[in-house]
Chain A
Amino acid sequence: MLDLIWLLPTFPLLGFLSLVLTGGSLPKKIVAVIGAGSIGLSFLVAAIIAAQFLANGEAHFIKEVWVWMSVGSFSPGFTFYLDGLSLVMMLVITGIGFLIHLYSAGFMLDDPSYSRFFSYMNLFVASMLMLVLADNLVLLYLGWEGVGLCSYLLIGFWYENPANGYAARKAFVTTRVGDTSMAVGLFLLFAQLGTLNIQDMLHAAEAQWAIGSGLAVAASLLLLGGAVGKSAQLPLQTWLPDAMAGPTPISALIHAATMVTAGVYLIARTHVLFELAPNVQLLVAWIGLVTLLMAGFTAMTQHDIKRILAYSTVSQIGYMFLGLGVGAYSASIFHLMTHAFFKALLFLAAGTVILSLHHEHDIFRMGGKRKQLPVAFASFLIGSLALAAFPGTSGFFSKDEILLAALEMEGPGLILWIGGVIGAFFTGIYSFRLVFVVFFGESKAHHEDKEVAGFSMAGPLILLMILSVFGGLITIPVQEVFNHGDVHEEHHVSAFMHGIMIAVPLLGIGVSYLFYMSRALSIENLMASSMAKSLHKFWFSGWGMDRLYQILFVNPFLFLARVNRADLVDRFYELLVQLTRIAHKMVAQTQTGQLRWYALSIAAGLIVIVSLGVLL
């Protein structure tokens, strides 16, 4: 059965092909069956494979399907590699993917491009599975770019609006910057280690490179570039909030649960390399910390329900990076999984809210919706609790693991921990700000709002609620993968510190309650001073990063493009042409038609030549 692992990406791929080749001529029911069914089949196969793999108890399983290309010593194959890590990823992708597909079947029902939507979604799942199951970095790169493409296509799914197209291109180009860095990393690794097979490459790196050697630093930095691009971390995080232009299920699947965590997966997969470059690994932690704090600040200022969730995603991936940076790989992957549960839940619930309120995104134009939208309310409540790491929910366990690992780390561990805890405080504030503003208070919408949620939409929400609550009890089989140096043993942390970690998110929720629920504290007072206003504006704009990049990169590029539209090189040849023309005109001047003038020139020429001949 394990041999059938190639079926995993094949089903979605077949779904994609059949939807594309029929070109939207199929009825919507059949499209939904193909679209969601292919992922469902994949999930079934994944579940069976997972059960068998765990029962076998082997560390990994390799299945080569065919050799992709073989040039000299470079021969990556279409080879699947299954171990604990890819097992978790594959189950999350197919499982959550299936639920989201199911939800989309209802959510997108009124869209004329129903078939196009599902074809892109299927292609995405196929690429994502390729990414996590690849046994070599080239195949991983195939999946990596594939998901990027699908992300582009789906962000710009409603293509009539140029803003969506802009967001889509921004997402693609920004991540491509990271991808290019990663590609250069691959060239470096191949040039130095002679293979791009992940396991062989890691062994070779361990054998050949000393800890902290320049090559290890360069290679891991370049891979990190790819990871920050895909996972929307500093400094390439700006694309994710704009990516919310896509349909909401996309935000749930691609920009929360799976694709954006690919960077986390990449670092976890190549963690050996990062351990060879401790400084880079520490950088990973710092990137995570700074990103999670910055995104936390920004999330507190946003009005758009999806942008709040987007920034919270950036922030939560920051936690995962923090975990990776302090060596808590399994905790990070654990958080990746639980985050997939509760963030998918939150996004899908947000989708229900948006759909029910006729595409209203601004949370301050909602309010008091808990009666009208009971399912969405329940989902939001549970999702936000998990997001804020309320004790007992899935998010609590995973975030706890990461922070504990940070605390136990020597050196900057304490600072990282404090930062992480502050971030958790913000998480409490912004997640419950959303809940309080949208679902409590007075109702603000004018029209009759009715919850739009058929079975296909409510079912996934309920399942995700269950997972968000109890997902923390799952143990992920990744110990084998990170067996050296992983911090997964007993933690020796004082009860006081642990108490802080439990209390802080609750404190955040409390603060949020005081501001947005009981109105004991007033935002208006807080915002009264001009400094607060400009600070708010600064945070609202995502710390001005968009502006900065606009000035640093986009504008110069556009300027260069504008001034050189006609191609400077061509001007050079034009100049040549002009010179020839001028010379032609000058010579033509001498042709007067005067016979005597010609005769004179002949005579003069003759005299010159003869005298030259005589003299020399």
Chain B
Amino acid sequence: MILVILIAVLFVGGLLAWASERINPEYPRIISLLIVLLDIVLMFSLLGGDSSATWLVDLQTDWLPRFGISFHLAADGLTVLLLLLTGFLGVIAIGSAWGEITERTGFFYFNLLWTLAGVLGVFTALDLFLFFFFWEVMLIPMYFIIAIWGHENKNYAAMKFFIFTQVTGMLMLVSILMLAYSHYGQFGVFSFDYFDLLKVNTSGPLEMVIMLGFFIAFTTKLPSFPFHSWLPDAHSQAPTAGSVILAGVLLKTGAYGLIRFAVPLFPEASMQFAPIAMTLGAISILYCAKVAFAQTDIKRLIAYTSVSHMGFVLLGIYAWNEEALQGAVMTMLAHGLSAAALFMLAGGLQHRIHTRDMSNMSGFWAKVPKMSAVALFFSVAALGMPGLGNFIGEFLVLLGAFKANITITVISSFGLIFASVYSLWVIQKVFHGEYRNIDFDDSHLYDLNRRELIYFGLMMVGLIWMGMYPQSFLDLSQGALEGILASSQIVATAAVTK
């Protein structure tokens, strides 16, 4: 029941926030903040449950029984981690929108909360029909956030985002339906339930086709090469809060989908497909790191680095062993914080000087030392400095992937070098060097204020915690990942012996 409440609170809160704008345009943000905080408090109650069981909460009621569609929500350790990340970044996003969004605040916070609700639904739904429903729910409000509150080229970016995710989402829908029909073919009844579909024994080309439907949908969201090109546009045009949610949370739904659905549902096809998926991951890592380096728009640059980091996640997932999967999850969490922080910094800069063009920036350290130090911290986190969360993730991914495929892993490791190239380039270009005011109004170039410092401080603490004592996160996801690994291994070994 707690999961329903979690989601419902956000839906209702969104409507409340919208309605409250009539009373006072300041109210929506306060209401949203309270709603998300309430949600986080509720999430913590999940942690107190029986930790030995794989599924901490499991709720299933009939929805459309004729088609085997049920309202099935459940959470295991992995889910809880992602829920907490969503809640945390929700707060951060509201914080970053606090002073930036001044028009139509009610509708903005409505969209923000509904996106979050959709994300929570995606992370908890165990009925594929319901999953698809939430998948769409998180998409449309996000479209509005980009299209209404975005920057100069917002309609193009929003439409691109929508088409990419919608088209691939349709592929997933087709795959879901094919899978449900396969279930009908084998058991005589329709079912969209995760546990029922796990038992479906598809094989051969059909399995590969269905799997690809899921794979493409999820890797577009992730995103991975070659489906990544919506992301730089969406990020550079979205308002800061949109970028935070997009980079921090929405991308993770793709990775989550791969871990929860794409691989366990189709273990054989996934095993065959793994080398290709890992190669795509490696290409994402290297190619996007290189493209990132070439960007002059600071938000585009960060967007490409996101794709590069998500390449590690893809690599880790398809290496499909415990180290790599844990690494993928850690990368998801750490990247959620570091990318969100970098986008907030870029957004903060844009808010102050109304440009994102790095070729105009130089030597900001002298003007905004606190902001520069914070930027340095997160750049260093992004390049994988040990002691911070991103390192744990990437190291574990590569450690695990090395067992699965040495060549691809070694090639991917070059990403570590490229990451240092682009991260340090940003620092050099924006914050180091001599302060020159070339082509912008710097009258508003003030240092971080207290509110911003609190948000960045929270994210720093989070990254250091992940880097120095990742065990508290690893323990949570361990049970879930071991379960997923074990179930797919049984099928895989059965397939081999057969």
Contacts and interface: CB of A to CB of B under 8 A. Distances in A.
Direct contact of A and B (CB under 8 A): yes
Interface of A: 20, 23-24, 66-72, 74, 138, 141-142, 144-146, 149, 152-153, 156, 159-162, 165-166, 168-169, 172-173, 176-177, 179-180, 183-184, 186-188, 190-191, 557, 560-562, 564-565, 567, 569-570, 572-573
A180 B416 contact: yes
B398 interface: yes
Contact of A146 (B304, B387, B425, B471): B387
A58 B410 CA distance: 40
26 contacts: A20-B373, A67-B471, A68-B468, A69-B474, A71-B478, A72-B323, A74-B323, A145-B391, A152-B424, A156-B428, A156-B432, A160-B435, A161-B433, A165-B433, A166-B428, A169-B421, A173-B424, A183-B398, A183-B413, A187-B402, A190-B402, A191-B403, A557-B290, A561-B294, A570-B229, A572-B226
B305 to A, nearest CB: 13
A116 to B, nearest CB: 8
Contact of B433 (A160, A177, A179, A562): A160
A173 B420 contact: yes
Interface string B315-352: 00000011100110000000000000000000000000
B185 interface: no
Interface stretch (B173-181, B197-205, B364-372): B364-372
A165 B395 CA distance: 28
Q: How large is the interface on B (under 10, 10 to 19, 20 to 34, 35 or more residues)?
A: 35 or more
Contact of A180 (B294, B396, B417): B417
Contacts of A74: 323, 396, 399
B322 A159 contact: no
Contacts of B469: 66, 68
Contacts of B295: 565
A572 B227 CA distance: 11
Contacts of B402: 184, 187-188, 190-191
A490 to B, nearest CB: 43
* Among A70, A156, A560, A569, residue most surrounded by chain B Cβ atoms (within 10 Å): A569
A171 to B, nearest CB: 10
Contacts of A68: 468-471
Interface of B: 225-226, 228-229, 232, 290-291, 293-296, 304, 321-323, 326-327, 363, 365-366, 369-370, 373, 376, 380, 385-387, 391-392, 395-396, 398-399, 402-403, 409-410, 413-414, 416-417, 420-421, 424-425, 428, 431-435, 468-471, 474, 478
A208 B50 CA distance: 43
Contacts of B370: 23
B471 A162 contact: no
Nearest to A178: B417
Nearest to B288: A567
B454 to A, nearest CB: 14
Contacts of A153: 376
Nearest to A572: B226
B386 A159 contact: no
A159 B365 contact: yes
A153 B232 CA distance: 29
Given A68-B470, A160-B366, A564-B294, 5 more contacts: A180-B416, A183-B395, A183-B398, A184-B402, A569-B228
Given A141-B386, A160-B366, A180-B414, A71 B432 contact: no
B410 A184 contact: yes
A173 B417 contact: yes
A557 B420 CA distance: 14
Contacts of B468: 68
Contacts of B363: 159-160
B246 to A, nearest CB: 18
A69 B470 contact: yes
Nearest to A190: B399
Contacts of A166: 428
Contacts of B417: 173, 176-177, 180
A258 B36 CA distance: 49
Nearest to B384: A145
Given A23-B370, A180-B413, A71 B326 contact: yes
B416 A176 contact: yes
Contacts of A23: 369-370, 373
Contacts of A162: 428, 432-434
A188 B399 CA distance: 8
Contacts of B395: 138, 183
Given A66-B469, A561-B290, A169 B424 contact: yes
A292 B295 CA distance: 40
B153 to A, nearest CB: 13
A159 B435 CA distance: 10
A569 B291 CA distance: 11
A172 B420 CA distance: 8
Contact of B420 (A20, A176, A564, A565): A176
A571 to B, nearest CB: 9
A149 B380 contact: yes
A572 B228 CA distance: 12
Nearest to A179: B416
Contacts of B386: 138, 141-142, 144-146
